[in-house]
A and B are shown apart, each in its own frame.
Chain A
Amino acid sequence: MVASFSTVQPVGRTASHQLGRIGVFICECGDKVAGVLDVEFLAESARRLPGTIYAGHAPYWCSADGRERLQETIRAERLERIVVAGCSPRTHRRLFQETAAEAGVDRALVGLVNIREGCAWPHRGEAGAATTRAQAQIGMEVVHVAELTPRPRAEVHITPAVLVIGGGLAGMTACLELADAGVPVTLVERAPTLGGTAAPDTRDLTDAVQTHPGISVKLNTHVANVDGSVGSYLVTTTNHKMRNTSTPRGGKRTQHGPFGAIIVATGVPDQETNELAKLLRLPQDAQGYLPECRIRLRPGTYVERGVYVCGSAHYPCDAAETQFQAYSAASRALRHLRRVKMTAQAPVAQVNAEKCNGCGDCLTVCPFAAVTLEERLEGLSLSVIDPLLCTGCGNCVSVCPVGAVTVAGWADSQLEAQMRLALGEALPQAASSQSPVLIFACEWSGYAAAELAGAQKLSYPSSVRMIRLDCSGRLQPGLILKAFEMGAAGVLVLGCEPKVCHYERGNERAAAAYQQAEAITGLLGLPSTRLQIAWTPPDDGPAFAELVTRFVEGVEEVGAGK
């Protein structure tokens, strides 16, 4: 029998989520979905969800006709948020965001849930159970969307000026490239002359740099501090040849900037490279070289900080390689400057200043150096997150002991609302084998694998309910324990394989959180087969199906043994 929803009222908590006017659009996808799921039933039950004032189904919402009808419905019903239940969010999210935006719905308030590869196809052998799962997954997406807030837009101007650190072959080459393109360049060199390790063969370059009107050369100068943020870096330098008796450290300190880009061309690493790496928050390898510092979000999309490394600071290069790297760095810097403006892309983490107690755990865990600590009263600090560097991975949310930081879209309350709905029909006291199994899957690993498994028409048990996370590192032990408290028969956590975490090292955070949860569930006497973590590749459908099937079997065996 298909379960019915109880009203989603948080247990013992004032309902604080916004129940905006929500519309649910269920896609029949021809008969690919409608052939397995009872779409009429799904629409009818979606209508009963809190905040939902419209729920309907159509053959193809993604078609031109379908989209037009969707927009008409948005206008007619004055919808503020929508959920499209159909195929993959990974292929269709942008389309529906654009469509909804044209009709006046904020892009951030558009949710998608996959009931095709997600429910209809993997569970096509059990139509009733497939519909039940779809019903739950739609409900979960609705409660998720109900709690979303329109994303604040952070926009920053990129200053058309570049700082080059290091006056050797790499640095001078980059300087000339940029200056010839009309960009004002400041070149900082710690030695009394330019030239670097390739001198005196760099004499021609040195002359060109020193006579170029667009390049300002500072010799005998070190970088002492880097302030400001993406788009407008402020750099303090010390000149050890010019003494300033008022500063005890000697050396005249000057502030330069703002700069929209910084090029590091400091040559073979030494102690000063370590200090510079810390100031610019660049990772170093074991030998001190500064490796690739682009942060990959998805193929072709990077978090652009405007900091570039070239030459032997990057890895040992001969002269030709050095020059090529310098050209490349200059080109990338130029492209960055020509954007003129940058806006925050992903949902970003925000700190509640009243709650933050300045412990700095978020700074330690952030894979993207987006966190700084600002001093406030009596030596205590406040965590400040740069919205342009933040990728919304949520590792900081997981690690924050006081709940001071949230990522819009992935707050605890929203995840709990999804969990509550997914487990709503289960009795908390007797988690039998009929209770659902909760899967926390990161979008880049488990969730992708789930969609692939569905696309490949593989089957796995329909008693699972999947909660999609941007990063498995979003999980904290409390959420896992809550799932069991709410009656989950089992909890499966899926994250990216070691070293290929989409957010650099979110899977490490997930592993740590899991270990704590495991220790506690062990003390509580929960059989170990009810909790598992697995690193799933996104491109292995059969492995996913097998993993989930075996996990559910293990959970059911335990339930039967009770």
Chain B
Amino acid sequence: MTEVLPHHENRDMTEAGPKEPNLACTNHPDGAPGDQASWLERHVRETGIFRCLECGKCTAICPISQYDHAFSPRRSVGRALMRHDEALLSDDRLWACFTCWHCSLVCPAGVAYPDLTLAVRTEARRLGAAAVCTHGEAIHAWMRMMMDPELKQDRLGWVTSSPQGGELVTRADSDTLYFVGCAPYYGALFKPLGVDGDGIARSTVRVLNALGIEPQVLADERCCGHDLLWEGDVEGFRTLAQLNANLVRKSGAKQVVTSCPECARALKIDYPDHGIDLGVEIFHLTELLADSDWPSAQHAAHSTQHVSRITYHDPCRLGRHLGVYDAPRQVIERLELELAEMPRNRGNALCCGTNGWTHCAIANKAIQVERLREARATGADLLVTACIKCQIHFKCAMQDQLLGDEIAIEIKDLATLVAEVLDNNEL
């Protein structure tokens, strides 16, 4: 398997292509003023999706396509090349794509299909159409409410003690800022599923403390905007991004660490793409952990009690989007736990089955069940992932009344696991 470049490094490949495509229908390469040389025209030209070979590898690998035959990345790219913008905009599966990046990974021509999806969604939204998001749209409601600069959240209640009762230390003038993301909010909404958002946040601080870092946390932190961006709400995303950028700059921090891969992707890739520069380095927690010295656990296997074998699920945003595959594995190795890889891992990992809360139906569930079966087949006692959303979606799938036992497996965030090991070993 060839070395896979993460998404943002792949971009150079597309920019290397010719700027002026040899297409008969283009009269004005740069688009005359007032010309509707539309959003689609611009997108096709600027991203080089005209290189599509129509080979269909994207659709073959696409997990949604396997269960929902009407979903076809190849057909959508084909429509884009034919400039069938109406068909793209009115596609009722527009909101179904997970933007998991698997298609682009296997594409021999460097076509970034998720970017096309993003462009279509942005235009659709501009024209007044929008996804009807899941969970009664509760999630997007709070994200939009965070756009209000006057909002004074009360979001630091989780900063109490570490999961096992030890001390958590934060410092307002720290060089490291812990960007928490919506974990406390997800914890509130998905408490019935057993998702402990506060626990992940606490564990992250506990782990950072063990690295000798006493991070600062923002009382006014806003949602990173990742979900609003991917549902085409560029304005909303920019508003949130700007608010966060102001806060980060004012904080004086030199680096930002987060335990959510979607926040990491947004801060690292999307903010600069939209001209918002935080001026600091961004890390996912696993990257810091893999790079740093931290107290290693003796007899770690005993301290995690009943767990002897674990398996790890690569979140799409951490893996394919950011190229971080090794760091989480190095962390697991340090914990001295037996890692049983699922057959589809790293760049080949199956997505957790939904993204951005824009769409969830039978195909999504089928994918989640498939992935959980894969996890169970490894014989692992514990499924570890590094994304709170993956955890939410898997736990939701496990609620199924008929399948329950067949797909049930304990799930933990890697931050939680590390914190537990540290606490159990009093490190």
Contacts and interface: CB of A to CB of B under 8 A. Distances in A.
B145 A484 contact: yes
B155 to A, nearest CB: 5
A357 B402 contact: no
Contacts of B138: 476-478, 481, 516-517, 520
B47 interface: no
B366 A404 contact: no
Interface in B96-141: 125, 128-130, 132, 134-139, 141
B389 to A, nearest CB: 14
Nearest to A477: B138
A516 B365 CA distance: 24
Interface stretch (B37-45, B184-192, B415-423): B184-192
B391 interface: no
Contacts of B399: 359-361
Give the one of A14, A364, A398 with max B CB within 10 A.
Answer: A14
Contacts of B365: 357-359, 380
Given A361-B399, A377-B366, A478 B130 contact: no
Interface stretch (B146-154, B296-304, B308-316, B320-328): B146-154
A358 B154 contact: no
A358 B128 contact: no
B390 to A, nearest CB: 16
A201 interface: no
B362 A358 contact: yes
B402 A375 contact: yes
Contacts of B192: 512
B15 interface: no
Contacts of B136: 398, 403, 412, 476-479
Nearest to B219: A525
B364 to A, nearest CB: 6
B43 to A, nearest CB: 21
A377 B144 CA distance: 37
B361 interface: yes
Given A14-B128, A360-B401, A381-B401, A524 B145 contact: yes
Contacts of B400: 358-360, 380-381
A482 interface: yes
Nearest to B182: A523
B403 interface: yes
Interface size classification for chain B: 35 or more
A519 B188 contact: yes
B396 interface: yes
Contact of A363 (B130, B132, B135, B401): B401
Contacts of A485: 141, 144-145
A529 B406 CA distance: 45
A484 B141 CA distance: 9
B337 interface: no
A380 to B, nearest CB: 6
Contacts of A12: 125, 128-130, 233
B362 A357 contact: yes
Interface string A460-493: 0000000000000000111101101100000000
A358 B135 CA distance: 15
Contacts of B403: 379-380
A403 B154 CA distance: 30
Contacts of B145: 481, 484-485, 524
B369 interface: yes
A363 B399 CA distance: 12
Contacts of A354: 361-362
B152, B188, B364 — most chain A CB neighbours (10 Å):
B188
A404 B150 contact: no
Contacts of A363: 401
A111 to B, nearest CB: 24
A13 interface: yes
A516 B189 contact: yes
Interface in A521-554: 522-525
A287 interface: no
Given A13-B129, A375-B402, A485-B145, A355 B362 contact: yes
A358 B407 CA distance: 14
Contact of B366 (A13, A375, A380, A429): A380
Nearest to B402: A381
Given A12-B128, A354-B362, A360-B400, A524 B406 contact: no
Contacts of B185: 520, 523
A402 B137 CA distance: 10
A517 B144 CA distance: 15
A522 B188 CA distance: 10
Given A363-B401, A379-B369, A478-B135, A356 B142 contact: no
Contacts of A353: 362
Contacts of A522: 154, 188
B388 to A, nearest CB: 15
A380 B362 contact: yes
Contacts of A357: 360-362, 364-365
Interface string A492-525: 0000000000000000000010001101101111
Contact of A373 (B148, B189, B396, B402): B402
B401 A373 contact: yes
Interface string B401-417: 11100100000000000
B411 to A, nearest CB: 17
Given A12-B128, A358-B400, A520 B188 contact: yes
Contacts of A378: 366, 369
B128 to A, nearest CB: 6
A523 B362 contact: no
Given A379-B406, A478-B137, A481-B145, A404 B361 contact: yes
Interface string B165-199: 00000000000000000001100110110000000
Given A358-B365, A485-B145, A523-B154, A403 B188 contact: no
A401 interface: yes
Interface string A396-431: 001001111000000010000000000000001110
A356 B153 contact: no
Interface in A49-105: none
A523 B155 contact: yes
Interface in B352-405: 360-362, 364-366, 369, 396-397, 399-403
Nearest to A518: B188
Given A359-B396, A525-B151, A13 B130 contact: yes
A478 B132 CA distance: 12
A382 B400 CA distance: 11
Contacts of A373: 401-402
A415 to B, nearest CB: 10
Nearest to A355: B361
A523 B189 CA distance: 11
A355 B125 CA distance: 22
Contacts of A412: 132, 136-137
Contacts of B360: 355, 357, 401-402
Nearest to B155: A523
A523 B182 CA distance: 10
Contacts of A382: 362
A429 B188 contact: no
18 contacts: A13-B129, A13-B130, A353-B362, A354-B362, A356-B362, A359-B401, A380-B365, A401-B134, A401-B135, A401-B360, A478-B137, A478-B138, A479-B136, A481-B142, A485-B141, A485-B145, A523-B157, A524-B145
Given A12-B130, A402-B134, 19 more contacts: A13-B128, A355-B360, A356-B362, A360-B400, A363-B401, A377-B362, A380-B369, A398-B136, A402-B360, A403-B136, A412-B132, A428-B148, A482-B141, A485-B141, A520-B138, A523-B154, A523-B157, A525-B151, A525-B152
Give 8 nearest A-B pairs by CB, closest first: A478-B136, A478-B138, A360-B401, A357-B365, A519-B188, A481-B141, A476-B136, A402-B360
Interface of A: 12-14, 353-361, 363-364, 373, 375-382, 398, 401-404, 412, 428-430, 476-479, 481-482, 484-485, 512, 516-517, 519-520, 522-525
